Structure 1
Amino acid sequence: MHVVLFTNAFPNAVEPQRGAFTFQIAQALKDLTALDIVAPLPFVPRWMAGRHPIAEVPAAENIQRLAVYHPRYLVLPKIAGATHAATLALAALPWIRRIRRQKPIDLINAHWIYPDGVAAVWIGRRLGIPVCLTALGCDINAYPKMHLRRPQIVWALCHARGLGAVSRNLADGMLALLQPKTIRSRSGSESFGRMPEIRIIPNGVDGKRFFPLPTLEVRRNLGLDVEGPVVLTVGSQDEVKGTRYLIEAIAMLEDIPGVRLVLVGDGPLRGRLERLGAELGISERVFFAGKRGHTEIPLWMNAADVFCLPSLREGHPNVVMEALACGIPVVASDVGAVSEVLRPEAGIVVPPADAAALAQALRTALQRSWNRNAIRNTVSGASWEACARSYFHWFQEILITP
C-alpha cells in the first residue's frame, strides 16, 4: 500500500515544531506502509525571507526518513479564507501527479478538513485516487460557521471515501453537517437516510518521553522556586485557549499559600495577559516562560502540581495526554475530547469560559492527594504506534470496501 499524507500541519526546515503530532503519526505509520508527505506552504518570494523565513523551506526535504514535499500555494488578499482550498489544490495537483509517476498511489489521507481535505478530495476525484479525511478540531467546530467555507466542507465530506475524527465530539459535528439529504453514494445517486460511519482514532502520546520525574529536582533544573504549588498551562496565548480565565482563576486562589501559574508558549495576547495579571495584582505569581521546544515540555509538566487547559474549543488536546503520561492531574474545560480522555482519578472537567468554576476546580485539585501512577495508567495504551495501527487498518478497510 502506498499512502500520501496530505496536511499543512507538518514540520519543515524552518518550523521543526509545526504539526508535531501529525509527524508522530507519520513516523509510526511509515513502518507499516509506503508513505509520502505532501505538506503545502504559502508562497513567499525568496527576497522576503528576512521577514518570512518560511520562504527558505526547500521544495522537497527528507525528515527522519520521511519524504516531504512542499507545494507552494498563493494567498489571495482579503479572500484567502474562502479560496484557500482552491489555491492549495491547484498547487498540489502536479506534485501528486509526480509522486504517482514514481509509484502508484493507493490512498490519500488528508488531516484538517479545510482547506486540506477539500483540496485533497478535488485532487483525488480528478486523478481517480480514493481519499479519506481526518477532522482535528476547528475544521469542524469553527470553520463550518463561515458561510463560504461551509459548503466546501460539506462537499468534501460527501465525496470522500472515508471519514475520520480524533474525537467523538468532532465525529458528532461531522454528522450534524451531513444531513441525510446531502449524502451521496459513490456512484453519485442520492442515498437518503443513510449516515456514514466515522472512524474515531484518538491521538497518542509518547510514553518514552513523557513519564513521571521527581518534581523538586525538575524545578531546580528549570530554575523555578521549589516551594509552593505550581499550576501549568502550555499552548498558544490566543483567544481560543482561554488563558485569561485561568489568570482570573489564579487571582481567586488567595486561600492557597504561594500558588503560582506558569505559562509555556507565546502568542498575540501575551501583552494583554501580562497586563491582566498586573491589574489583578498577581504579577509576581504569574510566570511567562515563553515558547519552548517540544523536547523540553516533559520537564515543565513534571514541575507542576496541576496542569490546566482552559480552552474554549479543542479537538483532541495532546497536552492533556502528555500531562497524564507524566502523572500530573489535569483541570480542563469540557471541550473537544477532554471528557473522553479525562477520568475522575486523573482530573476535573469544568465548563469553558467560567473563571469561578475553574478556580474551584483548581482549589480542589491542589488540595487533593493524587496517585501519579494511577493517572499515568489512564493513558498507558495510547501510544503513537497504536494510533498508526488504527490508521493502517482503516486504510485497508477503505480499499477493500466496494
Structure 2
Amino acid sequence: MGVLKVSFIILLLLFPLGQITRLDLHNGIVINLIDLAVGIVMLIFLFVNKSKKWRENSLTKPIIIFGAIGLLSLIINIKVINLSEFIVSVLYGIRWISYAGIFFVVSAFDHEFKKTITKIMLFVGSLIILGGYLQYFLYPNLRNLYYLGWDEHLYRMFSTFLDPNFAGAFFVLYFLFVFGLTMHFIKSKKKNYPMFLSLLSACSVVAIFLTYSRSALIMLIIGSTTLFLLKKQKKLIIMILTISVIFFVITANNFYIENLNLLRTASSKARLESASHAIEIIKDNPVLGVGFNAYRFAQSKYGFIKEDNGALSHSGAGTDNSFLFVLATTGVVGLISYLFIWFNIFKRAFRILNSNGLQETMSAILIASIVGIFANAFFINSLFYPSIMLWMWTLVGLIENKN
C-alpha cells in the first residue's frame, strides 16, 4: 500500500477527534490535528502524483477560480486590513483549498481502495455516534469550557464537535450515508450488512434528535426525502415525517428548558441579528466582499463584536449562513463562482445516477447530502466547517471514475 493511501487512512482515523484537538493560537488563528493531516495528505499527493491528470478534471478550474477570487478579495482590501490580518485570512484560504483538494486525492484512488474508504467512513462515523452517546450521558454540558468560548449546550448531544448544531449536521450526513448503503445491500440481497446498517441508521436518527438542533431536523427531513425519492422509496418519507412528529410531541414536556425547546426564540433572534450584520457588510462591499475569511476583522471594524470577545467567541469568524458568509467575504463574484463548483458536482452526480450498483447508490447519497447541507447552511455556516468539508469532498471523490 502506497504512502498516499496510508496517509489518507490515518486522516480518516483522526476524523472522530473532531474539535477535541482544536488549538486557538494568536490573532484568531485556529488549527486542529485534522487540518494538519489534510495539509500533509495534500503535500504527499502533489509529490507522488506524477500523472497530473487532476489538472484536466472539470472541477479543477472552478475550484482554482474561487480560490483566486478569494485571494483577490483580500488584495483589494489590503488597505483596510493590516498585514497580520491578511496573513491569517490567506492561511484560512489555503486551508479551504487543501480540503477541496481531498476530492482530487480520493478521485485518484482505484476502485477497490474506494471500497475500503467507504468501510472506514462507516467505522469512523460510528465512533462519533458512540462518542455522542457517551458524552450525552456522562458529560451533559460544556459549562467548564465556557471560558474558552464554548456555549454550555445543556442536556444536548454534541459529541466530539462540541457543538450540537454541527454535530447534528454531521449525524444527518452519516445517516444518509448509512441508510443509502442499507438500501443498496438490501437490493443486493446481502444477508448480514442490512441488519447491522439498519441498527446503525436507527442510532444515527436518535442521535440527531438528541442534539435538539432544529437546523439538523430540517436537514434530516429534506435530505432523507431527497434520498428516498431518488431511491424510489416514497413510503419512507412518511416514516421519517412520522418519527419527527412523534419526537416533537414527546419532547414538548421539556420545552420549559430553553436549550431543549424546539420553539425557542433566543437562538432565532441571534441568527437574525447575525444575518442583519452580514447584510450590512454586503451592502458596503457587494462586488468582492471584505476579503475571504476576513469576516472577523470586518465585524470588529463595524463594531458588531468587541476585539476581546471576537478573539474568544467561536462564531465571530463567520455568520450563521454559509451563503451570506461567501457573499460578505467574496461578494457577488465569489458567490457565483462558489455555487458554480457545486453546480458542476451536482451535474456529474446526476449523470452517474443512471449507472448501476454501488456507484449509483453513492451518487444518490451525494445528491441527498448536498441538498441537505445546503438547507442546513441557511442556519449555520456548515459548508465551511472542517469536518463537514472533509466528509463532503471525500464523497465527491468517491463517485469519480478514475478511468
Q: Under a length normalisation based on structure 2, what TM-score does the superposition of the two structures give?
A: 0.26
Higher helix share: 2
Q: Under a length normalisation based on structure 1, what TM-score does the superposition of the two structures give?
A: 0.26
Higher Rg of the two aligned structures: 1
